[in-house]
Amino acid sequence: MVNGYCEANLIKKSYELFLILSNQGNISKGSCFKLLDKLCKADGIQEAIMLLDTVMALNVGLGKIMYYKAIAAMCQDGKLEYARSLFHLFIKKGFTPDLITYTIMINTYCRINYLQKAHELFEDMKRKGIKPDVVTYTVILDGNLKANLRRHFLSPSGKRTWDVTSLWREMQQMEITQDVVSYTVLIDGQIRAANFQDAISLFDEMVDRGIQPDTVTYSAMISGFCIRGNMEKDDTLLKEMSSKGMTPDSDLISAFKRGIMKARKDKWKTLVHTAKISPQQRRGEPVPQDLLNRVLTAHAYWCHHQAKQHGHGKNRALTMKTPEASAGELSVGAVLVIM
């Protein structure tokens, strides 16, 4: 009946029936877990704590496991403050959290930007002889990188930054094998901080160690180089993705298009600077023929590249030729519109 009320979302009736049955010593493991999950998701924090206390008093061996489940359920449902309260209550009752619970709470503190608390828990678990695993390190690495980025934009100087490098080195010293997720977190963090060379080094290191990049890794790299307008590097990465059967999503395609536009503008600025175009020519006077040829060739290349990558037209990319025009027919202003 407890399960039935839970399935019907009649949480209050389910809880009342549970109390009656528990007084008779008649509870089932499945019913406890189901009701606890429902209470956590329905803001029934006090009822959830009462249920936990009842189960512990019955000494049926479910108390500790159910605390783990309750903390995890609250974190998953976004009730982070409730999860914090329950975690500290759990410790006050004399329990020692396990690796998973520590990791969940470290992640919770990182999500609400309580990095100091996250680090305190991280050190506490190590003091108690609980060895962090690759997931724990990845969680705190990600939290630190995001916190450093926030500090950089909000207050570029005078604020504490978290040492990500020492955490990465600590993982290696503890012989914790980094995986694709931990590498991707660090690569993405370096790209967001505009440390592109460090991101490339990490990407190459990952591949050299036999860890294959996934779609998220490639997306982080490609998005970063799109921002820089480095379309040659992006082209290589996209080809790698394709060869491994990975398909870029719509966000990545949009980023790639923006990168192409940036590359076009950068190329135009370089051409203008190299050719030393006069102010008169910028206002619409004829373009020198050699500059015109170079600009049109660059334009044709990028049109070809864009059409090929995004499938715009069956034959357009293959038949694209540099338009023929004379310097007297096209002005610098018109070339800028093309670009």
Q: What is the DSSP letter of 323?
A: P
Has residue 25 been placed in a domain? yes
pLDDT at 246: 81
- What single-letter DSSP state applies at residue 314? S
- C-beta separation of 201 from 172 below 8 A: no
| Residue 305 amino acid letter | H
pLDDT value at residue 55: 74
**How many residues in total does the chain contain?**
339
| pLDDT at residue 269, rounded to an integer | 58
Neighbours of 201 (CB within 10 A): 13
- Is 259 inside a domain boundary? no
The answer to whether the CB of 136 falls within 8 A of the CB of 99 is: yes
What global pTM score does this model have? Answer: 0.66
**Domain stop point among 175, 198, 213:** 175
Three-state secondary-structure class, residue 36: helix
Domain final residue, candidates 91, 121, 136: 91
| Measured distance CA(282)–CA(251) in Å, rounded | 35
Domain range for 269 is 265-339
| Number of independent structural domains in the chain | 4
Tens of pLDDT along the chain (339 residues)? Answer: 777 767 777 778 887 877 787 777 777 777 777 877 887 777 777 787 787 777 777 666 666 787 888 888 888 877 888 888 888 888 888 888 899 999 999 998 898 888 899 999 999 999 999 999 999 999 999 998 888 777 654 444 444 456 788 889 999 899 999 999 999 999 999 888 888 889 999 999 999 999 999 988 988 888 877 776 666 676 788 788 878 888 766 666 666 666 666 656 665 555 555 555 555 455 555 555 555 555 555 555 555 555 655 555 444 433 334 444 444 443 333 333 333
Q: Give me the helices (H) in 113-179, please.
A: 115-127, 134-154, 164-173
Task: Say whether both 102 and 158 belong to one domain.
Answer: yes
- Residue 138: what pLDDT? 94
- Domain end marker among 66, 91, 116: 91
Note whether 332 and 287 are within 8 A (CB).
Answer: yes
Q: What pLDDT, on a 0 to 100 scale, did the predictor assign at position 317?
A: 38
74 and 113 inside one domain: no
Residue 119 falls within a domain, yes or no? Answer: yes
